[in-house]
Amino acid sequence: MSINVDREKCIGCESCVAVCPVGALDMVEEKALINQDTCLSCGACISECPVDAISNSGSTKSSSETTSTYSDVWVYAEVSDNELRPVCYELLAEGVKLAAKTKQRCCAVLIAKEQGDLPAKLIAAGADIVYLITGDEYSVYNNDLYTNAFCELVNTYKPNAVLIGATADGRDFAPRVAARLKTGLCADCTALDATESGLIEWTRPALGGNILATILCDEAKPQMGTVRPKVFKAQEIDTSRTGEIIHYIVQHKVIARTELVRNEPVTATGACNIEEAELICAGGRGMGSADKFKQLEELAQLLGGAVGGSRAVVDEGWITHPQQVGQSGKTVTPKIYFAFGISGAIQHIAGMHDANVIIAINKDPNAPIFKVANYGIVGTIEDILPKLIEKIKAYKEA
């Protein structure tokens, strides 16, 4: 859609300028003027205008273009250290299902310094087509360069839907792409489905994780969403699959406004990427204090895992939000999940119930966490955690 100002009606009250979330409105000669390149078409200014001088001209795409021109399900293939992120395989598995339901193709978009064997891996994982953009400028993720390349590719080939992993880079990349394309974005999805007409049903936690909302975006294309890692299972790799690789050369290049000066790996256990950890030591309010999480870090260090926790301890400031497990945090599927002092609220269980082995430690024998745990220990953190650390140290030193 396109938002327009009738400057003859405008009285210069500046109400619209105050509510614009992206600063797209400014006063020129005491009248409101919209910067269409910046405007998100959110409509906040329309209801705020007291004289109805601002209006919505409707969708910028014709209905025939929306239904017939846009096709295929795209998966953004995120790369880290010249390897595909695990979420790429998970999204391709779900992309194949969505493409089958909508009678379209599942495609992958790869932006990297060089292709190597990555296109072949994407095809083996389910991609029918791999759109490939390479160049030295894409050696590391850069929002300006990647957004420009991806949007040009979208405008050229017009996908029906785009799936992006809700990783740190994905959460930075997806909103910029959606804003540039003037389309919607459903963030942090935990379930996907599709109608035969090609509409994607995006399901995500809402109201602090208390409900699950299913959202449709039927006014603009492509439909876009970010999907939490570990929500879907990757399908079996089939190296016998064949697919098409389309090499695309960006026609209108831009200059990056930022530069990566230095990349320093995080060494603190608690800051590890819990989505990819095979062992997680998670703590809840029952830990009692932030100091107790130092012991959890020691345990995780001994076992080669990461530290996570419930929303309650994030709210307390004992750990950071990237370490939160649950509906309003991250979904994890480690081989072993330790739950220390976690009562087992349904919102937390939704984020970790698919772990291979769940070991719960809680002083309340009736805590709900024991219903999903494979092993349970009834006792206080003060009694159990130090002894567990001591035993593991003794075993490793033996």
Annotated binding site for FAD, which residues? 285, 310-311, 324-328, 341-348, 362
Measured distance CA(102)–CA(66) in Å, rounded: 14
Tell me the backbone φ, ψ of residue 381, rounded to 5 degrees: -60, -40
The reply to whether omega before 334 is within 30° of 0 (cis) is no
387-391 long-range contacts, CB within 8 A, separation 24+: 388/299, 389/295, 389/298, 389/299, 389/302
Of the candidates 3, 61, 56, the one whose C-alpha atom is nearest the C-alpha of residue 220 is: 61
- What DSSP character marks residue 136? G
Measured CA to CA in angstroms, residue 316 lies from 42, 180, 257, 274, 309 at distances of 34, 37, 36, 19, 11
What lies within 8 Å, CB to CB, of 6 at 6+ separation is 53, 54, 55
Instruction: Give the residue numbers of the binding site.
Output: 285, 310-311, 324-328, 341-348, 362
Residue 368 is encoded by which pair of tokens?
Answer: 């709900």
The answer to whether 227 and 203 have CB atoms below 8 angstroms apart is no
Q: Give the SS3 label for residue 243.
A: coil
Burial tier of 356 (Cβ tally within 10 Å: 0-12, 13-18, 19+): exposed
Q: Do residues 153 and 145 touch, judged by C-beta distance below 8 A?
A: no
User: What DSSP state is assigned to residue 318?
Assistant: S
